[in-house]
Structure 1
Amino acid sequence: MTDFATAARHASDALRQLFPPTPLQRNDHLSQRFEADIWLKREDLTPVRSYKLRGAFNAMRKVMAAHPDQRIFVCASAGNHAQGVAFACRHFGVQGVIFMPVTTPQQKIAKTRTFGGDAVEIRLTGDYFDRALAAAQAYCAETGGHFLSPFDDADVIEGQASVGVEILEQLGGMPDLLVLPVGGGGLASGVRRYLHTQPNPCAMRYIEPEGGASLVAALQAGGPVTLPRVDSFVDGAAVARIGTQTYAQLADIDPVDVLQAPEDRICVTMLDMLNVEGIVLEPAGALAVDALPDLADLIRGKSVVCVTSGGNFDFERLPEVKERAMRFSGVKKYFILRLPQRPGALRDFLEILGPDDDIARFEYLKKSARNFGTVLIGIETSDAANFARLFARMDEAGFTWRDITLDETLAGFLV
């Protein structure tokens, strides 16, 4: 354990070649809201806007120290890991070959090229990550390149532990609680292992996206398992199978300390941090902050550090984030209405809307019936309670309707 602590501190010192410690900032807005002393470890402010640079840099540094002739580094990634590897390759003056799915957004491809410059070659392979990963590993076997795992690598874990080194130095000691996001487990395992080398380590909570809870699945099964389905919305942490090495560091966690964050609620948190604080977080970067409502009773009056792990948010996704946030908050609903096919029927419906009810979507789905037409309606309002009153008025007026807001199948086809 002591050796790991020393190695983590060395990794932290070496990172100063690239950037100063990311800020540890007290957040007044969250502190007041939760009656606690809440600090944000701003990993969204590294040069590549995520903590992934730490692990990539440390792994590359150690491989080159042990094998000075190693000049080719390879990874498979469509996101933050690719950007961290690209940045580190340019720093060290080595060749990086980065495999990405063909479906990777152009914005992410362009950012990776920007960070890597002439040091990086990007290869678009396959429609899904698994194909890109297989191609990357095959390329390593052919060329002798060194494969850089995004999380399941001892040197990567050691590099991510530098986040914990900085937190204790900046805070001047242990917080009462540390809240860590979990995807593949590199950050959580590294920081947890480092803190457990120190006297009286603090309590920790681990936050996964609800649609990619690979850590809690592994804890329940007694080892890493592959999730049958993953919601890719939280793309920086939606991992189907936690790493073998990372799980080894997390295997003794009590499953009750692992929380799941609903994807739609994460959208509410992202908008809150953007609109109130001017902080841009990607979905994975908002995980730790998003868990605070679930921890409200536990953290009252205590010092809490949340790691905001990334800020690589494509603003083309903002309409989707706003839509999902409104649905989760209950201020936007979609429903199917059977509207009588007679003059004035639409006016009758409009007259029962409240003063704060706004039609955001109106679309006839079927007009072939002689007496009734089926209509898809989306309503936005200022207060979720308004919908109970609206639906009561619809029932009183004799309208037949069905709320499909939370019906994934119907909403997926119609909305």
Structure 2
Amino acid sequence: MNRKTAVKDADVNAALDAVRELFAPTPLQLNEYLSKLYDANVYLKREDLTPVRSYKVRGAYNFFRKAMAAGQTDKVFICASAGNHAQGFAFACRHFGVKGVVFMPVTTPQQKIDKTRAFGGPFISIRLIGDIFDQCYRAAQAYVDEVDGFMVPPFDHEDIMEGQATVAAEIIAQLPDGITPDLLVLPVGGGGLSAGITSFLSDRLPPESFLFAEPLGAPSLRRSLEKGEIVTLPRVDNFVDGAAVARIGTLPFAALKHFAPEQVRLVPENAICCTMTDMLNTEGVVLEPAGALAIAALDLADRQDLKGKTIVCIVSGGNFDFERLPDVKERAMRYRGVKKYFILRLPQRPGALRDFLNLLGPEDDISRFEYLKKSARNFGSILIGIETSSRENFTGLIERFETAGLGYEDITENEILANLII
């Protein structure tokens, strides 16, 4: 590793001592449900239990304490964030009694906007600009130049990486004596957390002990590692808003560029929804999409490779807007294959609908039905959503469709059509 980009143990330990002013170490919990599922010892580092429900407060606080020590108290502090960094920033502004301006994408969940206001109080103002983080970040940078402000980056700064590395320092102290992780799973957005943690642990764990998790729709680290230089993605899927970054940070990439591209798992957004619903239903743990990213990555691994190992997953955040829950449930069911949408071509004759209903199995349930009967037409179209208890049930249903000569199209995985009419 290039030690110029690595955080130093003494600096991380100083940051850890300082952050104790704000909160106690977040728990490192052995999760019985996941351990049984993967036949391993799976620990969760619960960064969703910080005062702002994400690890981001660590880096923001470390940045501010160093800025205060350097006498930067008369500046306007500025940040750009999809939500979690904004909350850490707002918390730090209020703690140190300084003014701050928060730039957030227009698409930021309302829950994160409201919480940012609550944490910052009268010390911060919020500006909603751009559809994705990168557009918002450019607007924040322009504002810094306009007012001669002080930018607090979300990930691309040594003080931020140093603050995030305190997560690793806590993990080492919290693991049972004599135990080190065989696998440490790190969620990746801009790279500040993963760069800080891997740098701090570079002399303690071999490189192959690290596994990185990125959303499939925002693979900035994976693509950059494949090319050997930083790649700016032309577009990103914003669903995993806490990790939907089009360009990994310059300093984080310098710390991560020696890892193999295959160590970055690209997790489908709908698979993340499965993890969110599982953790909510079985464990009562509320996770945002980015917070579920590391756990979801385990499901993409070979079970034999995980068997018997000590695994630590970083649960990076729990700032979830429950208005999104129906969409999360919908995505999870589609990913598991227990919910599908079809467009059916049904003959316009008496009894045709009854004949179709007779094709359904005993565990098939209609969740959506729209029928447009047109005059002077032999056939009409139906949009139908069907839920069932097992994905195998659809195999039999489709066979019955074909035996009956029913015209149909499965549009479940057609994102354009699905987003338009579902």
Report percent identity of matched pairs: 61
Letter in 1 for 2:381: T
Shift of 1:132: 3.2
Map residues 244-263 of structure 1 onto 2, 5 A cutoff: 244-263=250-269
Please name the residue that 2:357 is paired with: 350
- Equivalent of 2:292 in 248, 269, 286: 286
Residue in structure 1 matched with residue 309 of structure 2 by the alignment: 302
Return the alpha-carbon distance in structure 2 between the equivalents of residues 3 and 388 of structure 1: 54
Which residues of structure 2 form unaligned runs of 5+?
none
Candidates 126, 134, 137, aligned match of 1:133: 137
SS in 1 for 2:145: helix
User: Which of 320, 339, 363 matches 1:313?
Assistant: 320
Verify the 8 A CA contact 2:348 2:373 in the aligned structure 1: no
The residue number in structure 1 matching 2:174 is: 170
- Contact 1:174/1:202 (8 A) holds in 2: no
Contiguous gaps of at least 5 residues in structure 1? none
The within-5 A match list for 1:82-231 is 82-126=86-130, 128-171=132-175, 172=177, 173-198=179-204, 203-231=209-237
C-alpha contact 1:42 1:307 (8 A) present in aligned 2: yes
Q: Distance in 2 between matches of 1:219 and 1:282?
A: 26
Are the structure 2 counterparts of residues 347 and 307 from structure 1 closer, same or farther at C-alpha, using a change threshold of 3 Å? same
**How many Å separate the matches in 1 of 2:373 and 2:292?**
41
The secondary structure found in structure 1 opposite 2:300 is helix
Displacement of 1:18 in angstroms is: 0.5
Q: Is the 8 A contact 2:207 2:259 kept in 1?
A: no
Alpha-carbon offset, residue 118 of structure 1: 1.3
* 1:91-114 deviations in Å (ceiling 9; x for gaps): 111111112234444322211110
1:199 and 1:284 mapped to 2: Cα distance?
Answer: 24
Mean Cα displacement is larger for which, 343-352 or 394-403?
A: 394-403
Residue 39 of structure 2: aligned partner: 35
Quickly say closer, same or farther: Cα 1:366–1:241, change in 2 above 3 A.
farther
What is the distance in 1 between the residues matched to 2:258 and 2:270?
A: 30
Match of 2:66 in 1: 62
Q: 1:389 to 1:369 in 2, by over 3 A?
A: farther
Q: 1:399 aligns with which of 382, 385, 406?
A: 406
Matched, 1:323 2:330: yes
Q: Who is 1:372 aligned against?
A: 379
Letter in 2 for 1:399: L
Cα distance 1:201–1:239, how it changes in 2: closer, same or farther (>3 A)?
Answer: closer
- Structure 2 distance, partners of 1:308, 1:75, is 23
How far does residue 229 in structure 1 lie from its aligned partner after superposition?
A: 1.7
| 1:326-373 Cα deviation digits (max 9, x unpaired) | 001000000111111011100011111111100111112562452110
Question: Residue 65 of structure 1: CA displacement?
Answer: 1.1
> After the TM superposition, which of the residue ranges 142-151 and 317-326 deviates more from structure 2?
142-151
Alpha-carbon distance in 1 for matches of 2:406, 2:206: 63
Q: Distance in 1 between matches of 2:88 and 2:367?
A: 41
State the secondary structure of the residue aligned to 1:320.
helix
Name the residue aligned to 1:240: 246
Give the 5 Å matches for 1:15-34: 15-34=19-38
Deviation sequence 1:128-184 (CA, Å, 0-9, x none): 544432332232223332101111111101100000000000004521111101111
Distance 2:186 2:7 in 1: 23
Aligned counterparts of 1:179 and 1:308: Cα–Cα separation in 2: 9
Per the alignment, in what secondary structure is the counterpart of residue 355 of structure 1?
A: coil
In the TM superposition, what is the alpha-carbon distance from 1:255 to its structure 2 partner?
Answer: 1.1
CA RMSD of aligned residues (A): 1.7
Cα drift, residue 299 of structure 1: 1.7
Q: Matched residues in 2 for 1:217 and 1:201: separation?
A: 19
In the alignment, which of 340, 347, 356 is matched to residue 347 of structure 2?
Answer: 340
Q: Deviations over 1:313-338 (max 9, x none)?
A: 10000000010000010000001111
How many residue pairs get aligned? The number is 415
For 2:292 and 2:86, locate their aligned partners in 1 and report how far apart those are by CA, in whole Å.
Answer: 20
**Conserved? CA contact 2:7–2:158, under 8 Å:** no
Match in the other structure for 1:271: 277
Q: Distance in 2 between matches of 1:220 and 1:91?
A: 41
- Give the AA of the match of 1:187: L
Distance 1:199 1:132, change over 3 A: closer
In structure 1, what is the Cα distance between the partners aligned to 2:205 and 2:367? 56
Cα contact 1:175–1:202 (8 A) shared by 2? no
